[in-house]
Structure 1
Amino acid sequence: MLTGKNYIGFDLSAEGDTTYRTFNPLLNVENPTIFSEASEEEVDMTVTLAAKAFDAYRAISGVQKADFINAIADEIMALDDELVNMYCAETGLPEGRAKGERGRTVGQLRSFADLVRDGSWVEATIDTGIPDRTPLPKPDLRKILVPLGPVVVFGASNFPLAFSTAGGDTAAALAAGCPVIVKSHPMHAGTGELVASAIIKAAKKTGMPNGVFSNLNSSGIEVGVQLVKHPKVKAVGFTGSIGGGRALFDLAAQREEPIPVFAEMGSVNPVIALPSALSEKGNEWAKNYAGSITLAAGQFCTNPGLIFGLRSAFLDGFIKSLGEEIERLDPNCMLHPNIHDKYERGKSELSSQAGVTIAASVESGVAPNYATQRILTVDGDEFLKNPTLHKEVFGPFSVVVRCKDEMELTTIISNLEGQLTGTILGSSEEIYKYSGVVEALHGRVGRLIFNGVPTGVEVCPAMQHGGPYPASTDSRFTAVGVHSIKRWVRPLSYQNWPDIALPDELKNNNPLKISRLVDNKFTQDAW
């Protein structure tokens, strides 16, 4: 049963004066539960409690953390239909999407549990000393990854489970040994509270310190600003808009002690359709991309917002087929009226730019909060001189750019902002023929896709979900997969430290039996 209150560690609290409700976009009505926004005092209490919990939690073994994270997964599944129904009521998304995202969330948690149970992720590195080396002795040096401290995670609007309360950021931070404070997204505060209750139950069952996890409600920006500025917060995770992510990044940089903000932000995910793709499979790719553009009303960070091709009759045919496929599909409900309104404004802004033509558009009357899809076309020279056409429009929308030749295409790709993904459609031979285009794309994205669609992010160690700015604030890291744990840790070296006082991961006899780099050789052996 929902309370509408904040979780400050294990305790529920509602001392703030500001209240709000979530919204059911499918029914176009407010949901009944009243949520209480955290007060300044509650925010400070939460961070102070998390900092105290860090002293205990960072010393907890990998096996204990694995038990905790697995227990979170178990408790989320135990919520069963209550969670699924709340998810649907706050998003307008269907039951199948809710269950699929729940499965992804639980899978992420279990993968991090496996990672910390094994323990080798800490990258234990040992360079043994040579005290009689001349002209100077070599010290004994041992390095390990250690947690940063309390982490603030901002829930994402478009993934209430997989990128929110117990999503990838939270799972990775808890696995690293960092307490987590979630700033719940106001559009799905009920879903967030249910998941938070599961995390708290798991923490209590597995003996975790009070304050290892908290969940704070907020309808505006004040709670988030206070959290980022709090001196005891040591890192921030965010998934959302460029404006929101950049604002947090700037706030964190202006602190007396600057902290990292790992923000996954805007991306239009360019697709380059090379000649063979359009001449041999133009209609097939048109159908595939119509589905990708409109999937879940286009509310994915990997939505293909830009498609590039060289001027030809085949490109014209592709545009015609794409338009026909787009107009054949039924519009879908968006997550919230605010998101729908922003989509309509963005769609209108780009449609009104010089040189732009509407190739396809669904104009029939639809229910409130439903997004009508649109495809625009523009010539490469107009695209090059108009940065507005580079902007992400969050919804079922894409722009096809007609390039006059390979040089113009390469120039355009080289001048794009950083992206999460870039896709090449064509033959393997064309990768070499158009190597300049491919290399330009290589420098602008975090994931290169061949003959596929960018929507769909596999959760596995080889996945890179991040890219050059503004796709993310630090392209060296991923927000998906177990390697995302590296955002929440820092390296620490011990020099000439007594073996008995070293962490188990660095002791001579390797009591945890983990893989370590010892004198430049990987081994699980003791010595």
Structure 2
Amino acid sequence: MSFPDATSAEIEQAAQRAWQAFLAYRKTSWKQRADLLYQIAETLRAREAELVALAMKETHLPELRLKNEFARTLFQLQQYGKALETGIWAEFRIDTAVHDPASAQPDVRKSYVPLGPVAVFGASNFPFAFSTAGGDTASALAAGCSVIVKAHPAHPHTSTQVAACIQQAIQQSSLPENVFQHIHGTSPAVSEMLVKHPLIKAVGFTGSYVAGKALFDIARQRKQPIPVFAEMGSVNPVFLLPEKLSRDTATLADMLAGSITLSAGQFCTKPGLILGIKSEALQHFTSLLTEKLKHIQAQHMLHEGIAHAFREKVQLARHQQQILELIPFSSSTHTLEAKPVLSLTSASAFIDNPVLHEEVFGPYALIVTCEIFEEMLEVADRLEAQLTCTLMATENDLQQYRRLIDALTLICGRMIWNGVPTGVRVCMAMHHGSPFPATTDSHFTSVGADAIKRFVRPVCFQNFPDPFLPPELQNENPLQIWRTINHQLTSSKIE
């Protein structure tokens, strides 16, 4: 069964319905929204086996991987709900009036209101956690926004069934049915019409740089520009510092071989670039990593489009000057299969060749050999922004090469010490975001309940009578949340 692209008339109707639903939904309490997220989780849980089986068929991802992702999706919904109930998802500030005639000041209180209908574009590689019921949808609903999801063409049936679960949960929660809507579209024109519609007030996207940048440009060119929160991937460099590399050579090779090839390297956090300073330890590491990757079997990629892009990107990279192929590209009789590919180059060749800086989505990595630390630091300075940067280092290494830490914090959203970047914890402290081009807005995360902040804007109430203030700003603090009152964080009432 195929799904026809949404027509312009259908998109118009969906946007109008989303706006009307938003006008009612934005007035719901935090508890009502939290209860909706909990209900969505329970509705999904009841159909887990069916949905995982369907996703396996559409994405070629293994059952265990999808089960883990499914559990993460339920956890996200529950965590965002708890963040709403406790009020920790945002900072609420109150500066009470100063009545001194010599320096009288008004009573000023700040909260947040939802932006409006949000268009969500899911990820091909995460049919659950970053798609129809994923973080963008969950955080937009938590914020009080209505949502229109465009199903990803890589898993349209899974998306449709997940959407049915969300719609069932909305009905069971007695909320406006068009708080959530679902459309299909393989043509870029569908995405363009949706983002251009004047009633759409924000966009959530996870995917490629090309598609994310296109949506970002469309949104900027509107008469009323809107924010696009696009997460577009990166090469996630790993820096091997000397003492750690010499002490734990084999362990590092094991860790990175697993991370490079996890789910056929189809993660936005896959380590695609490994940098070390020329030494016997680096040579040994390179040999070990090469041998480990050689023994990893070919894996199915998500769909032909991604497999084709992987082949093209690898062929482009391997034909650059001063590239040594440690594990050359090997074509498979099955068009969706991909085997690990590993190359090596010098820091000087890497710095001067922008092709080598580009992400290769799939089981590919490039080792860059630096003559001295200053050359490694120069590579760091030349890198574009990254979702993650990893330091494999002892504490002595960190002390000796502190300048590298300073350089990397300028370009990345998550600094990792002695771990791999694949695997993103869902928690309030997580920042899954980065300066452009890894994402379109480095101020926000797309993982963890802080993601709710993307879909609200601040509103200040000056000298308002207490009964007309939103509950989070009222004197009695009926929600029993923490607020900053006259520069002090407290859960107390205002007497």
TM-score range, shorter chain: over 0.9
- Partner Cα separation in structure 2 for residue 515 and residue 291 of structure 1: 42
Equivalence map 1:55-204=2 (5 Å): 55-134=23-102, 136-204=103-171
Residue 41 in structure 1 maps to residue 12 in structure 2: no
Look up the match of 1:9: none
Cα deviation, 1:58-116, whole Å, max 9, x if unaligned, reads: 11011111111100001111113221111001001111112111100000000011111
User: What amino acid sits opposite 1:385 in the alignment?
Assistant: D
- Partner Cα separation in structure 1 for residue 379 and residue 151 of structure 2: 38
Look up the match of 1:284: 251
Cα deviation, 1:127-152, whole Å, max 9, x if unaligned, reads: 11123332x52011111011111111
Asked whether the equivalents of residues 90 and 450 of structure 2 are also in contact (C-alpha less than 8 Å), the reply is no
- Partner Cα separation in structure 2 for residue 362 and residue 341 of structure 1: 13
- Partner Cα separation in structure 1 for residue 202 and residue 101 of structure 2: 41
- Partner Cα separation in structure 1 for residue 144 and residue 374 of structure 2: 49
What is the deviation of 1:361? 3.4
Asked whether the equivalents of residues 327 and 362 of structure 1 are also in contact (C-alpha less than 8 Å), the reply is no
- Partner Cα separation in structure 2 for residue 80 and residue 295 of structure 1: 23
Look up the match of 2:438: 471
User: What amino acid sits opposite 1:341 in the alignment?
Assistant: H
RMSD of aligned residue pairs (Cα, Å)? 1.2
- Partner Cα separation in structure 2 for residue 90 and residue 161 of structure 1: 12
Runs of 4+ with >6 A deviation = none
Asked whether the equivalents of residues 113 and 458 of structure 2 are also in contact (C-alpha less than 8 Å), the reply is yes
Cα deviation, 1:390-435, whole Å, max 9, x if unaligned, reads: 0000000000000111111101101100000001112111101011
Asked whether the equivalents of residues 361 and 372 of structure 1 are also in contact (C-alpha less than 8 Å), the reply is no
User: What amino acid sits opposite 2:28 in the alignment?
Assistant: I
What is the deviation of 1:367? 3.0
Look up the match of 2:261: 294
- Partner Cα separation in structure 2 for residue 74 and residue 366 of structure 1: 42
Asked whether the equivalents of residues 90 and 453 of structure 2 are also in contact (C-alpha less than 8 Å), the reply is no
- Partner Cα separation in structure 2 for residue 503 and residue 80 of structure 1: 38
What is the deviation of 1:208? 1.0
Asked whether the equivalents of residues 274 and 365 of structure 2 are also in contact (C-alpha less than 8 Å), the reply is yes
Moved more, 414-423 or 510-519: 510-519
Tell me the SS of whatever aligns to 1:153.
Answer: strand
- Partner Cα separation in structure 1 for residue 476 and residue 431 of structure 2: 35
- Partner Cα separation in structure 2 for residue 121 and residue 313 of structure 1: 49
What is the deviation of 1:484? 0.8
What is the deviation of 1:278? 2.2
User: What amino acid sits opposite 1:103 in the alignment?
Assistant: A
Look up the match of 1:386: 353
Asked whether the equivalents of residues 436 and 442 of structure 2 are also in contact (C-alpha less than 8 Å), the reply is yes
- Partner Cα separation in structure 2 for residue 486 and residue 43 of structure 1: 26
Percent identity over the alignment is: 46
**Please, which runs of 5 or more residues in structure 1 have no aligned partner?**
1-32
Tell me the SS of whatever aligns to 2:369.
Answer: strand
What is the deviation of 1:362? 6.2
Look up the match of 1:20: none
User: What amino acid sits opposite 1:46 in the alignment?
Assistant: A
User: What amino acid sits opposite 1:207 in the alignment?
Assistant: S
- Partner Cα separation in structure 2 for residue 342 and residue 365 of structure 1: 15
Residue 318 in structure 1 maps to residue 318 in structure 2: no
Tell me the SS of whatever aligns to 1:87.
Answer: helix
Aligned residues: 494
Asked whether the equivalents of residues 34 and 84 of structure 2 are also in contact (C-alpha less than 8 Å), the reply is yes
Compared with structure 1, are the counterparts of its residues 120 and 286 closer, same or farther at alpha carbon in structure 2 (3 Å cutoff)? closer
- Partner Cα separation in structure 2 for residue 416 and residue 241 of structure 1: 18
Cα deviation, 1:428-478, whole Å, max 9, x if unaligned, reads: 111010111221112111111111111111111111111111111111111
Tell me the SS of whatever aligns to 2:46.
Answer: helix
- Partner Cα separation in structure 1 for residue 245 and residue 257 of structure 2: 15
Asked whether the equivalents of residues 324 and 360 of structure 1 are also in contact (C-alpha less than 8 Å), the reply is no
Of 380, 405, 409, the residue aligned with 1:442 is: 409
Tell me the SS of whatever aligns to 2:431.
Answer: coil
Of 439, 445, 454, the residue aligned with 1:487 is: 454
What is the deviation of 1:493? 0.2
Look up the match of 1:268: 235
User: What amino acid sits opposite 2:458 in the alignment?
Assistant: P
What is the deviation of 1:119? 2.8
Look up the match of 1:4: none
- Partner Cα separation in structure 2 for residue 317 and residue 61 of structure 1: 59
- Partner Cα separation in structure 2 for residue 467 and residue 133 of structure 1: 47
Asked whether the equivalents of residues 62 and 118 of structure 1 are also in contact (C-alpha less than 8 Å), the reply is no
Asked whether the equivalents of residues 123 and 145 of structure 1 are also in contact (C-alpha less than 8 Å), the reply is no
What is the deviation of 1:291? 1.1
What is the deviation of 1:121? 2.9
What is the deviation of 1:321? 0.9
What is the deviation of 1:363? 3.1
Of 325, 329, 336, the residue aligned with 1:358 is: 325
User: What amino acid sits opposite 1:70 in the alignment?
Assistant: Y
What is the deviation of 1:277? 2.4
Cα deviation, 1:259-287, whole Å, max 9, x if unaligned, reads: 11011012000000011222121122112
What is the deviation of 1:364? 7.2
Residue 252 in structure 1 maps to residue 254 in structure 2: no
User: What amino acid sits opposite 1:488 in the alignment?
Assistant: F
- Partner Cα separation in structure 1 for residue 191 and residue 146 of structure 2: 17
What is the deviation of 1:296? 0.5
Cα deviation, 1:142-174, whole Å, max 9, x if unaligned, reads: 110111111111011110100000000110110
User: What amino acid sits opposite 1:472 in the alignment?
Assistant: T
Asked whether the equivalents of residues 410 and 440 of structure 1 are also in contact (C-alpha less than 8 Å), the reply is yes
**Please, which runs of 5 or more residues in structure 2 have no aligned partner?**
none
